[in-house]
């Protein structure tokens, strides 16, 4: 029997979060790494069962998107489990799917630290991680060691893998770099997300432009078909920035539809700094992408726009801090939603609450 979402929420926000936020002199990346290392141990059956028990009872709403059967509609957003080491933990924490990565073709250290900042009064984060990750080959090995392969449900939930461009690879060679990651990781992924919207790799967002995006998505789709050898190609989702204009989004949507993308993830972090508490203005000056509560409104607006202008399914991401925020994205047309910052501030009570509310609304 699991705990009700409200109790989980109070336990996390009143007891555990203050400890986590103070640990390592308040360094968010240090406690993040420590927590992921702990969760990576969840391969052990007993801990997996204990975690599953914690959030049991919040089953959410089952759905099929892009041919994938999702046990519930709330997932983990990319960037939280970049190395995929905690892949077996996410189901137990209440998620109906998890997007791992972003992974690049080659291993890279990311930007110099500090590169992750809490804006506590705004319930936000600013990050400029810069795709720190061990590279596609190492991540494929991590997933193989845990027997996570496309369609085998080894993680209990569908697994998406986000791929991005290696910083040292020139923009004109980006397609080959994405293809390298794709070939290595697609066998382990129920879907692949193409990240062309992180603000922290110079030039990356230019890959959202029509011609460049067409080349990239077209090449990945061709590769997916080759890998499928007559079977169903792995679905490809394209993740967009919230800072695009409507005209730019129109172009992205047309390109995705024309070149065989299965859907979109909207949105990534924003370069804007609207909606911050006065006490957080100092940190607002840190370079990087802003996530969390200040992004809620813009992400909702972009999701609504995208859903109104494409028939492809949309995964909503950005500023889901409460179950009601998730429902607003569903009402805007999203088929699924993802959490990052809301999970940092709300803990496992948040996916449980989203599932509870979504499940309740099922009949309505
Ligand atoms: C520290 C941090 C690292 C992130 N890394 C990635 C990443 O590697 N790839 C990606 O597609 N999105 C990344 N994101 C963006 C999230 O997946 C999400 O789209 C964004 O934060 C908005 O959702 P949120 O408001 O729930 O956090 C990152 C976000 C944060 C806060």
Output the six-digit token pair for 203.
């030039």
Bridge partner list, 338: 75, 317
Q: What is the pLDDT of residue 69?
A: 98
As a whole number, mean pLDDT of residues 288-295 equals 98
Burial class (CB in 10 A: 0-12, 13-18, 19+), 153: middle
Question: For the domain with range 5-359, which CATH number is right: 3.90.180.10, 3.40.50.720, 3.40.50.2300, 3.20.20.70?
Answer: 3.20.20.70
Q: Is residue 219 pLDDT above 70, yes or no?
A: yes
Which residue has the CA at smallest separation from atom 13 of ligand 1?
79
What CA–CA distances, in Å, run from 328 to 38, 221, 320? 33, 31, 9
* Residue 336 parent element (H or E): strand 336-339
* Residue 264 parent element (H or E): strand 263-266
- Beta-carbon contacts of 162 under 8 Å, excluding residues fewer than 6 positions away, are 78, 79, 99, 100, 101, 102, 103, 192, 193, 194, 195, 239
Q: What is the pLDDT of residue 64?
A: 98
Bridge partner list, 290: 126, 270
151-183 pLDDT per residue, tens: 999 999 999 999 999 999 999 999 999 999 999
Report CA(107)–ligand 1 centroid distance (Å).
19
- Report the share of the chain in percent with pLDDT over 90: 86
Q: What is the pLDDT of residue 49?
A: 65
Q: What is the pLDDT of residue 187?
A: 98
Residue 102, ligand 1, Cβ within 6 A:
yes
More confident residue, 130 or 361: 130
- Report the share of the chain in percent with pLDDT over 70: 95
Residue 350, ligand 1, Cβ within 6 A:
no
As a whole number, mean pLDDT of residues 285-297 equals 98
Q: HSE-up of 344 (CA within 13 Å, CB side)?
A: 27
Q: What is the pLDDT of residue 320?
A: 98
Q: What is the pLDDT of residue 46?
A: 63
- Alpha-carbon torsion, ordered 99, 316, 192, 115, to 10 deg: -50
- C-beta atoms surrounding 277 within 10 Å: 15
Which of 28, 77, 131, 325 most suits a substitution to test ligand 1, by most atoms within 8 Å of the C-beta? 77
Whether the bond into 267 is cis, omega within 30 of 0: yes
Residue 237, ligand 1, Cβ within 6 A:
no
136-148 pLDDT per residue, tens: 999 999 999 999 9
pTM over 0.85: yes
Q: What is the pLDDT of residue 42?
A: 73
Question: Which ligand 1 atom lies nearest to the CA of residue 125?
Answer: 31
Q: What is the pLDDT of residue 59?
A: 79
Phi/psi for 85 (5° steps) reads -70, -25
Q: Is residue 363 pLDDT above 70, yes or no?
A: no
Q: How many Å is the Cα radius of gyration of the chain?
A: 19
Report CA(125)–ligand 1 centroid distance (Å).
9
Smallest Cα–Cα separation from 90: which of 165, 160, 176?
160
Helix ranges (H only) for 259-339 are 281-284, 296-309, 323-331
Contact 138, 82 (CB under 8 A): no
Q: Is residue 277 pLDDT above 60, yes or no?
A: yes
Which residue has the CA at smallest separation from atom 22 of ligand 1?
318
What CA–CA distances, in Å, run from 333 to 16, 191, 215? 34, 20, 28
For the chain, give every domain's residue range: 5-359
Smallest Cα–Cα separation from 71: which of 363, 358, 273, 322?
358
As a whole number, mean pLDDT of residues 286-311 equals 98
* Residue 251 parent element (H or E): helix 246-258
22-47 pLDDT per residue, tens: 988 899 999 999 999 999 987 656 66
Q: What is the pLDDT of residue 45?
A: 62
Report CA(364)–ligand 1 centroid distance (Å).
31
As a whole number, mean pLDDT of residues 110-125 equals 97
Output the six-digit token pair for 209.
């432009």
Q: What is the pLDDT of residue 48?
A: 63
Of the candidate ranges 2-11, 134-143, 336-345, the one whose mean pLDDT is the lowest: 2-11
Q: What average pLDDT is seen over the chain?
A: 94
Contact 94, 58 (CB under 8 A): yes
d(CA 232, CA 47): 35
**Residue 56 — pLDDT band, cuts 50, 70, 90?**
low
Report CA(194)–ligand 1 centroid distance (Å).
13
């Amino acid at each position: 029997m699991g705990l009700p979402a409200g109790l989980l929420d109070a336990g996390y926000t009143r007891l555990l979060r203050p400890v986590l936020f103070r640990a390592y002199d308040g360094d968010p990346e240090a406690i993040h790494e420590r927590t992921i290392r702990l969760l990576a141990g969840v391969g052990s059956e007993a801990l997996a069962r204990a975690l599953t028990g914690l959030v049991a009872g919040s089953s959410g709403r089952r759905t099929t998107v892009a041919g994938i059967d999702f046990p519930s509609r709330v997932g983990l957003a990319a960037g939280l489990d970049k190395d995929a080491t905690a892949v077996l933990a996410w189901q137990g924490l209440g998620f109906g799917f998890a997007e791992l990565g972003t992974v690049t073709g080659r291993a890279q250290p990311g930007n110099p630290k500090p590169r992750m900042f809490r804006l506590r009064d705004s319930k936000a984060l600013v990050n400029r991680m810069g795709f720190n990750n061990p590279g596609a080959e190492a991540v494929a090995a991590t997933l193989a060691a845990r027997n996570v392969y496309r369609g085998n449900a080894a993680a209990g939930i569908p697994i998406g893998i986000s791929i991005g461009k290696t910083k040292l690879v020139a923009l004109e060679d980006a397609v080959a770099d994405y293809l390298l990651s794709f070939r290595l990781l697609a066998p382990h992924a129920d879907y692949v997300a193409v990240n062309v919207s992180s603000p922290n790799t110079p030039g990356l967002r230019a890959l959202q432009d029509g011609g460049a995006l067409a080349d990239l998505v077209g090449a990945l789709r061709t590769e997916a078909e080759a890998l499928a050898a007559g079977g169903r190609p792995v679905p490809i989702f394209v993740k967009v920035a919230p800072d695009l204009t409507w005209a730019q989004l129109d172009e992205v949507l047309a390109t995705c539809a024309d070149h065989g993308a299965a859907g979109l993830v909207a949105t990534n972090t924003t370069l804007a700094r609207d909606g911050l508490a006065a006490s957080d203005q100092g940190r607002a000056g840190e370079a990087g992408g802003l996530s969390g509560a200040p992004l809620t409104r813009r992400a909702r607006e972009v999701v609504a726009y995208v859903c109104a202008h494409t028939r492809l399914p949309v995964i909503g991401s950005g500023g889901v801090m409460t179950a009601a925020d998730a429902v607003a994205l569903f009402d805007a047309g999203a088929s699924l939603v993802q959490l990052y910052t809301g999970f940092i501030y709300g803990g496992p009570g948040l996916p449980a609450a989203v599932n509870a509310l979504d499940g309740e609304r099922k009949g309505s």
